[in-house]
A and B are shown apart, each in its own frame.
Chain A
Amino acid sequence: MIKGVIKIRELSGLPARFVWLGLLLVLPQLVLAQSAESLLKEQCSTCHNLTGPAPDTVAALWLRKGPDLFYAGNKYKQDWMVEWLQSPQRIRPAGMFYVDHIKVSPDGDVVDKGSLKDHVKLDSDQARLVATYLMTLKARSEMITAGDYKPGNISPSMGEMMFDKFRGCMACHEIEPGYGGASGPEVYTVAKRLQEDYMISFLRNPPAWDPQTFMPNKHLKEKDLQKFVHYFKVLSEMKF
């Protein structure tokens, strides 16, 4: 009889202990997630869209001040985000929307550098917190196929030939600091920043991700999508 009582107490006590242990483990995560969300809402949501949808008119596009983040977890590399948020460097030579940052000069339009604003800097704890939270934002997962990118190689010269001469992408993108177009993001760091499977999906059809983007769909063949990402990876390993 006594043995039976002890057994029942042990059995009923075990789940309670597990519940407490579970709470102790989960609570800090919940608090961190909540503080990351608050930080993003307070400091980031003025310029970044955290909930979607993407702009669907040019007027809405004009108002966008920073990249949409509601699918950040499908787009960015977490390690890169942690590093970049502590030491942000400009990725788009003419800013997020080039129209806001160009002026006419005798030599043609130039970037109005005085109009460009620096990105806010976070300390290492904030950067880790924010990056961890952003990785949970996974809208449009159905457009990503895990393993879509198949690692491979391409020579830098062939990559440049394809990117510039065959496809004309250098018109808008720099392939090394100070060489290439200014309106789009630099591509010599893109493989450090973005997930490979996302790049394949985005290059396949940029407006499918961002309907008003000023990056057109260039109807790249599937094998060329792979070659482009090979090239970006080659560029990301070069020292400029």
Chain B
Amino acid sequence: MSARSSAMVFLLGVLLFGSSSSLFAAESGADLYKTYCWQCHGKSGDGMGVNVRDMSVQPRDHTDSKEMASRSDDDLFKAIKEGGQAISKSVLMPPWGRSLSDEDIWAVVRYLRELCQCQYGSS
């Protein structure tokens, strides 16, 4: 095999396998939600977490299917990654983009859809 073909195979390997880890979340959405989101959104996901007592704004109730159906998956992703202010919501929702990979955040978004039992645009 020539040096050029070897380089091509290596490059292909990097593209296929190097990026494959980024196709899958390292953690499950449920585990991530429990670890990072329960503190404010609650064990039941109803926005009644242990931190809520002195908050000026109630965290989102993720079991509210009507409200959650009004948010697109992209909006939910953006709010988690960049914080509430990125979608004109509360500063109390912090940005998790330095703690969670994009794939982990998508896993949380999918878990949110399980919690609300809804999809964007569904009534």
Report B100 CB to chain A, min CB distance, Å. Answer: 9
Cβ of A205 under 8 Å from chain B: yes
Number of interface residues of B (CB under 8 A): 34
Report A181 CB to chain B, min CB distance, Å. Answer: 4
What residues on B are CB-neighbors of A94 within 8 Å?
Answer: 50
Q: Which of B24-60 contact A (CB under 8 A)?
A: 26-27, 31-32, 34-36, 38-40, 42-44, 46, 48-56
Q: Are B98 and A104 in contact (CB under 8 A)?
A: no
Q: Are A168 and B92 in contact (CB under 8 A)?
A: yes
A105-132 vs B, Cβ < 8 Å mask (1 yes, 0 no): 0011111000000000000000000000
How far does the alpha carbon of A57 sit from the alpha carbon of B100 in the complex, in Å? 11
Q: Are A183 and B39 in contact (CB under 8 A)?
A: yes
What residues on B are CB-neighbors of A170 within 8 Å?
Answer: 54
Beyond A166-B91, A168-B90, A218-B95, whether A58 also contacts B50 by CB under 8 A is no
Report B61 CB to chain A, min CB distance, Å. Answer: 11
Contacts A62-B35, A98-B50 given; 9 further ones with Cβ under 8 A?
Answer: A58-B27, A102-B50, A108-B46, A168-B91, A172-B39, A172-B40, A183-B39, A219-B95, A219-B98
Q: Enumerate chain B interface residues (CB-CB to A < 8 A).
A: 26-27, 31-32, 34-36, 38-40, 42-44, 46, 48-56, 83, 90-99
